[in-house]
Amino acid sequence: MGKSRPPIPKELQLSIFRRDRWVCRWCNRPVIFAPVMRLIERDVRLARNGAPLSYYHAHWTRAGAPLLDELGAVIDHVEAYSTGGANSEDNLATACNKCNGRKSSASLKKWGGRVMRKPIKGKYGEPQHWDGLSGVFVILAQRDPVGLTASDRTWLKVFTKGLKVHSRGHACGVQ
Ligand SMILES: [Zn+2]
């Protein structure tokens, strides 16, 4: 077993996701902020009397959460932590769950930056304002704070830091 990996602070994770515009470094696919899927599933299940849905699963299994199995956003160590890669911004990249799983702990040298999935290319350009559905997370979390996990609450704080919440409840950036 290698060195155990200290958790990456959520603020740092968010700055990496934003820097990378919520797109996988390796395959260029747009990624999804996973906690939003749990909140969406909660809402939809309520509306459907609890009928099961495959929007969210804690382990992002294909059976339980196919979208996250493919496109769940993770922070990837470019140089693996176990081989000395740091938790620093330039060693961290946004990745989709598939690329992260395939790269696993192979060092960058060994992996050689090989692209494990063919990178996609936009015929009409790259996403301009994709946010991994994190904006939906903020809205749903603020609307119904009961039942948020401790992790959700921390995320909400991180997302809304520096944002001013208006009396009507929506947040917007302040200069
Ligand atoms: Zn990818």
pLDDT in tens, the chain (175 residues): 445 678 899 999 999 999 999 999 999 999 999 999 999 999 999 999 999 999 999 999 999 999 999 999 999 998 887 888 888 999 999 999 999 987 765 555 555 555 567 888 888 889 999 999 999 999 999 999 998 999 999 999 999 997 665 545 555 554 4
166 CA → ligand 1 middle, Å: 36
20: CA distance to ligand 1 center in Å?
12
State in Å: Cα 173 to ligand 1 middle.
Answer: 30
- Calpha distance 152→158 (Å, rounded): 10
What is the Cα–Cα distance from 94 to 52, expressed in whole angstroms?
A: 30
Q: What length does the chain have?
A: 175
| Pairing of the two strands 163-165 and 171-173 | antiparallel
**Ligand 1 centre from 91 Cα, in Å?**
16
Other C-beta atoms within 10 Å of 111: how many? Answer: 18
Domain residue spans in the chain? 10-132
The helix or strand, by DSSP H or E, that contains position 47, with its residue range, turns out to be helix 35-47
pTM: 0.83
Q: Fill in the DSSP letter of residue 89.
A: G
Q: How remote is the CA of residue 29 from the centroid of ligand 1, in Å?
A: 6
CA of 47 to the centre of ligand 1 (A): 33
Ligand 1 centroid distance, CA of 85 (Å): 20
Distance 17 CA to ligand 1 centre (A): 13
Instruction: Classify 32 as helix, strand or coil.
Output: strand
Q: Residues 11, 157: contact at Cβ < 8 Å?
A: no
CA–centroid distance, 140 to ligand 1, in Å, is 27
Contact between residue 130 and residue 22 where contact means Cβ atoms under 8 Å apart = yes
Distance 138 CA to ligand 1 centre (A): 24
Backbone angles phi, psi at 92, to 5 degrees: -115, 140
Could you tell me how far CA 115 lies from the centroid of its own chain? Answer: 20
Q: How far is the CA of 60 from the centre of ligand 1 (A)?
A: 15
